[in-house]
Structure 1
């Protein structure tokens, strides 16, 4: 069974809406399945397709991009090189790893204007941005972002469509799941935390009797690629990017979870780390979450760039990044997480997976804290703030993430007192079943996707 990706539907919409007037650029981190879904799309929706992988395209193929005055010769060369016949308005040409050959992206303007075929471009997002200095970026592109496999896609791949429907139905009716099914859903969600959403890891997990260790091998290979990307791509500041990346588990293990630059470099200031942080965010390797100073006015308008949390783009990768290979291979780590006995680190993983789920829904990440001078500590800590995106009737939804079953709702109460008129829903994500209490919606983490539906 293949992993069904939601982005496929958006690709169908692009094909229908643009009718060959725009190419499609799929942006995303490495190893999330961009090439796979592009080929699947070409197979299902066109009579033929050609995939040009610029990691290994021949010199003859690359040379043909030097002269676009005769497109008949251009298409003839590609057709012969890949031994595929092209059909007008019924063939797709995929430019894979397009960051390796910027001239192909520049050519999109002329190829789209020609109108004979459709074009999909894929590549590592940050590398795409860093490879356009000497080219004209085409306006004939529609960009969509692709993320790791989300929880819904995970459930469908694991054959749990009926349970997924039941979860959605319970949310709509605002009732808890039957207790045994709640326990099953929580078990599956913990599997999702540990395995993550990188397709290779997920396939290794499912095809080998749900073996976490084999999934970990795949994830460590991907982490190795990311570290190589950091060394090669972020040349001007790769040491600072690398320092932040290596310290992500350490930051997320602390109570506040925000980046503290003094742990990286004595006397460090955020100005020196602005570009490295942007690089990690723009590469989609990480998801940045900024403090909002005044949620009353708007989240982005009051972003405090000096207070930022850095989550991993995929929680399964965070697990392999945070724990040594020996810790994982003996199986105890998985047992502790599945049994809910990992203490502080479990909170780190829960908060990271919620950040991942929110991001995959197209939302920017913000948090809120208030420092109490008398108490010498924060007396309000809201993990995530989500707006309703309305400019006329702006509302915010504060979200707190609780990894244990015992907790207080003090921060939410104080937040409501201050911003009451702007608060739409108060949400707590916890390991327990669905519950409405004192104006607060308490949901298990496997139900979060329902909110965005």
Structure 2
């Protein structure tokens, strides 16, 4: 079973571009990179040469005679004479390049040569790029991939593009969803929150039409992430990196979600863990949301690097960290309990990252004003509040009304409610979070 992904269209457009560069697809492990690449290759090329540097370590010598194309092909065919290289008809796939990152240095030569298309793939590339002698700047294209977003989950459930467009049109026209629509989308969204977007998890759910065995798959993925830390985190305290990764759920469960090192260890200091958090971010297994110094544009450069929140880029993996009783309650009764606010906030952070939006929040030092997320249109700063209920949004309205915050003209509330508008606050159901970037772009135009 192949699940349609957004990268499918990207790869087709990439091939249609006569000036295409060698492509590097990066992202955390088990998000579907290899499957998507192979599905694309099968449908679009007469000849495919596939090399996996983890499963086939013998290929880690193919650069021994240099980075030029002829030397690389000669060494590959020496190791595997059955591999054929047909000019202008061949796609070369270098997979798991985190185990042989120097291969990226050869991409300049492949581009200049021009006879073969090349796609590289791997996890932990943010980390392992630092090992590459020269990463072919200007001669490659990078594509960051994530686990499935809510739109892709809807596709997996059988919903077409017409349904996606209908959701967007409701937002654009401020048209309330019908009771049937609201019920169906809320249930589907909650299922997605529990499952997350890991293809193996979603496939099991689609195949069985239940949550059966999905938790076991999620737990194994988290264990695999920790195994990667022990395998690839060189020059850092691996135990501390694992501690940070495991501590994210507990940090989100507290009322003040700002990451606090003291929750990991009583005497912990930020300088001891900064490299660990950067490593996890580069590996794609946590997302960092920075606190703005002041709610104004621009966003980049206007934040405090010492104040941040950490999220999991896949809410399903966050939920899988809960204790057994909470898991049973959540899957059987859809009862989010004390984690409700944290889970929805994590989902919104996940949705933003997958849309290419940066993660920023704001909190006054005296705690009198706090906003979960901030995004932007072309000219406006947009505060976005995530409510675990449908209560009023005091901070949101305060930011909009205060003339000191001249970049803010309106806000968005994501809540357990229908679509609405009042006092320059646009209210949308949680499941609309995957449309926020498109909505803001349309708002600007």
Q: Same fold (TM over 0.5)?
A: yes
Deviation of the 1:422 alpha carbon: 0.8
How many residue pairs get aligned? The number is: 433
Query: Which stretch has the larger CA shift, 7-16 or 217-226?
Result: 7-16
CA contact (8 A) 1:48 1:84 kept: no
State the distance in 2 between where 1:73 and 1:130 align: 24
SS in 1 for 2:364: strand
State the distance in 2 between where 1:82 and 1:437 align: 69
State the distance in 1 between where 2:40 and 2:409 align: 39
State the distance in 2 between where 1:326 and 1:380 align: 35
Aligned CA-pair RMSD: 2.1
Q: Map 1:44-443 onto structure 2 (within 5 A).
A: 44-57=43-56, 59=58, 61-68=59-66, 71-72=69-70, 74-75=72-73, 78=76, 81=80, 83-126=82-125, 129-130=127-128, 132-133=130-131, 135-139=133-137, 140-161=139-160, 162-209=162-209, 211-235=210-234, 236-321=236-321, 323-325=322-324, 327-328=326-327, 331-336=328-333, 338=334, 341-372=335-366, 378-388=367-377, 390=378, 394-405=379-390, 407-418=391-402, 419-443=404-428
Deviation per CA, 1:380-422: give whole Å up to 9, x if none. Answer: 110000022x4xxx311100001223x1211112112335421
C-alpha spacing 1:136/1:202, structure 2 compared with 1 (3 Å): same
State the distance in 2 between where 1:82 and 1:189 align: 50
CA contact (8 A) 1:79 1:86 kept: no
Other-structure match for 2:443: none
Deviation of the 1:206 alpha carbon: 0.8
Deviation per CA, 1:161-205: give whole Å up to 9, x if none. Answer: 254333122122210111111111000000000000110111011
SS in 2 for 1:422: coil
CA contact (8 A) 2:49 2:91 kept: yes
State the distance in 2 between where 1:108 and 1:70 align: 9
CA contact (8 A) 2:288 2:311 kept: yes
State TM-score, norm by structure 1. Answer: 0.90
Deviation of the 1:85 alpha carbon: 3.5
Deviation of the 1:232 alpha carbon: 2.5
State the distance in 2 between where 1:422 and 1:197 align: 35
Other-structure match for 1:375: none
Deviation of the 1:131 alpha carbon: 5.9
CA contact (8 A) 1:289 1:310 kept: yes
Unmatched runs of 5 consecutive residues or more in structure 2: 439-445
State the distance in 2 between where 1:171 and 1:69 align: 51
State the distance in 2 between where 1:344 and 1:325 align: 15
Deviation of the 1:365 alpha carbon: 0.4
CA contact (8 A) 2:197 2:314 kept: yes
C-alpha spacing 1:266/1:142, structure 2 compared with 1 (3 Å): same
Other-structure match for 1:34: 33
CA contact (8 A) 1:102 1:135 kept: no
Deviation of the 1:17 alpha carbon: 3.3
Deviation of the 1:335 alpha carbon: 3.1
Deviation per CA, 1:208-258: give whole Å up to 9, x if none. Answer: 12x224111111110010111122322412222222111111110011211
